[in-house]
Copies of this chain bind each other. A is one copy, B any other.
Amino acid sequence: MTITIKEVAKAAGVAPSTVSRVIADHPSISEKTKQRVRAIMDELHYYPNYNARQLVNQRSKTVGIVLPEANDAFYQNPFFPTALRGINEAASRHQYSLLLSTGDDDISRLDHIKKMIYGKQVDGLIFLYATQNDPILSFVIDEQFPFVIIGNIDGIPMNSIDNDNIRVAKEATEYLWQQGYQRIAFIGGDEKQQFIQQRIKGVQQVLQVHHQPLSDADIYNGFPFLENEGYHIMKQIMKTNRYNGLVIGDQLVAQGVYHAILEYGLLNEYQLITFKPYEVYQNSDYIHYPYFNLHSQQLADRAMEILIEIISNKSDSKHERFVYELIAGDLVIP
């Protein structure tokens, strides 16, 4: 049998409402009563029923994590678990629960999100991806439901957190340039991802300054962020002998590229630089190439913090106000 507030009340010789107030640490209850009730609660192993609490409170203290349509590139990218870790930490700090979205296709995913929201299961959402024309995103914007997106979408105001992708790409490009690698290509992947567009922009801006504009032919896109894609692209590139500096938009792709270079023994011909969600090999000589640490864990942690802030402040103003935070990246040099 499960212990409810009633049992505790009876055992403590008080009313259920008093027990409820003790749980909430309500100031109007005397210390003596509080202590007595708490002792009973411990003794009886009382735990509040969240369903009842959430029903009456009309809020759940839980956040939904919105995943994209299932695909290898997302699930294999270290960004995903790293972000989850950050969200998890922040959730734990604030005693929030985390509900995962499910569903393969757009229909079932949207359906699940609607159930979560209308069913009062979540107070807010965190999007772990940012793609244009996403039906779920459109839906929550319409509904004005609280959410934070990791990444950004041009032209639509929303709460978001992101890396300063233009900036890190600029710094990356400048680094190659300063090192003397001045025949530069950008290897991206999925060009529909905003961050790829932004990183391209960064590279372009720097090369513009150096009067050596990046042409469209120097931008490699149109493939998923996977190691073997980078590997094959690089095998093509090596044939041309056109570049010596490579800015690579994704770290898995970079790994494939690096493998190709290593296999062909051309480490001295190419310098590559990429972007990673965390610092991979501290204090180790196992480092192959420079990269920017994007601190994805902290990024996601902040996403959660921002969301909680938004949920808590809700309804206190008529005008719209959005949070847009940028997380800096650090250059890590072998």
Contact = CB atoms under 8 A, between A and B. Distances in A.
Given A55-B49, A119-B47, A286-B228, A88 B76 contact: no
Contact of A85 (B49, B70, B88, B232): B70
A322 interface: no
A52 B49 contact: no
B81 A91 contact: no
Interface in A96-115: 96-100, 102-104, 108, 112, 114-115
Interface stretch (A152-160, A199-207, A237-245, A256-264): A256-264
A165 interface: no
Given A81-B81, A262-B262, A284 B118 contact: no
A236 interface: no
B115 A88 contact: no
Nearest to A267: B263
A102 B112 contact: no
13 contacts: A47-B115, A51-B52, A51-B121, A67-B88, A70-B85, A75-B84, A88-B102, A92-B102, A98-B99, A227-B280, A227-B286, A228-B281, A232-B286
Q: Which 10 residue pairs of A and B lie closest in terms of their CB atoms, listed nearest first?
A: A47-B118, A92-B102, A50-B119, A228-B286, A51-B55, A98-B100, A231-B286, A51-B54, A228-B281, A228-B284
